[in-house]
Chain A
Amino acid sequence: MKINDKTKKALTGLEWAILQSPDRFIDPDEFTTEDFSNATGSTNNSARSKLSRMVELKKLSVRKVNQSGKLVNAYKKA
């Protein structure tokens, strides 16, 4: 059974929308939890909790970016 024309149209439209959606990569002034943990010598858990505290205090801002096929938090000075 063939797929119907509505499905074909929906597929083409979605492929276009995927290509239009912006890629979100890390900027030079941003860093990840892993960067912070490597720089400070703290464990990943401790780095995560320190960073989230600084986000709560509005010292840092955070957004999700793509890194090695995963979505990770990217932080920068607020």
Chain B
Amino acid sequence: MAFKRFLYCADSHGNLIHDESRSKLLKFANDFKPHYRIHGGDLWDFSPLRGGASPEDKAGGISEDYNAGIKFLDEYKPNYLTLGNHDDRIWQIAKDNHNGVLREHCVDLVKATEIEFRRRKINWIPYVIGKSLKLPEGGPKFIHGFRSSIVSPAKLHHSDWGSCIHGHVHKPDTYVATHADGGMSMSSGCIGDIEKMSYANRFPSKMGWRQGFIYGMINDKTGAWHAWHVIKEGGDWISPMGIL
């Protein structure tokens, strides 16, 4: 029997990435040497493409955001990626948008992005309900997350997806199922800079957001798994291994 190690991070949000979280994660990856690295989506922010984007958002462009996302991919080197709702904006516009010019240019970027993933040998899935990633040994499903409530997000996702690890809500949370078969779900803190995500400044849910990521181990025979949060609380990065 042997255990395989995995590392999960999510919500890096392109050029809104939190530099300290990025450094902690990469240092942790270097020490922990995970067999699998998973990015749980919202690799980019794509704020100029959201429905209510202001002229200032649009003027900011997307190159800086896109390049920062690719740079982070090259540093973190994930084997797996689940697209998030922010990433999905270009896929959605490419599929269905009343503005034909915008749609055609999104089609081009979608094609180019899928090539970028292929060049980096990343096993990725689109942001679609019902799609999830699994490691070869089994274990939890990896998804970006679809529910935005931060009241027990892990429990809510568990009720729909079963044992899973997800991002999306930026709030570290763990739910341990009480039924006989057990099971556990976890939602991860984010790698994006909470301070820079000003669009949520009026949402009370932002108070629950934390910088963070998740690491774990999976039994390569049985698929049994355990995982733990690494969370920035105040100025300290706390993990079950101690202060990082």
Contact = CB atoms under 8 A, between A and B. Distances in A.
B62 A11 contact: yes
Contact of B51 (A1, A12, A18, A71): A71
B66 A11 contact: yes
Contact of A18 (B48, B113, B120): B48
A13 B51 contact: no
B226 interface: no
Interface of B: 48-49, 51-55, 57-59, 61-63, 66-67, 70, 74, 90, 99, 101-102, 104-106, 108-109, 111-113, 115-116, 119-120, 199
6 contacts: A4-B119, A6-B115, A10-B105, A10-B109, A17-B105, A69-B52
Contacts of A70: 51-52
Interface residues of A, number: 27
A7 B61 contact: no
A12 B63 CA distance: 8
A14 B62 contact: yes
Nearest to B90: A14
Nearest to A1: B74
B99 A21 contact: yes
Contact of B101 (A3, A6, A20): A20
A21 B102 contact: yes
Contacts of A67: 52
A17 B101 contact: yes
Given A15-B61, A67-B52, 16 more contacts: A6-B111, A6-B115, A7-B113, A11-B63, A12-B63, A14-B62, A17-B105, A18-B58, A19-B59, A20-B102, A64-B51, A66-B53, A69-B52, A69-B199, A70-B52, A72-B52
Nearest to B77: A1
Contacts of A15: 61-63
A17 B93 CA distance: 12
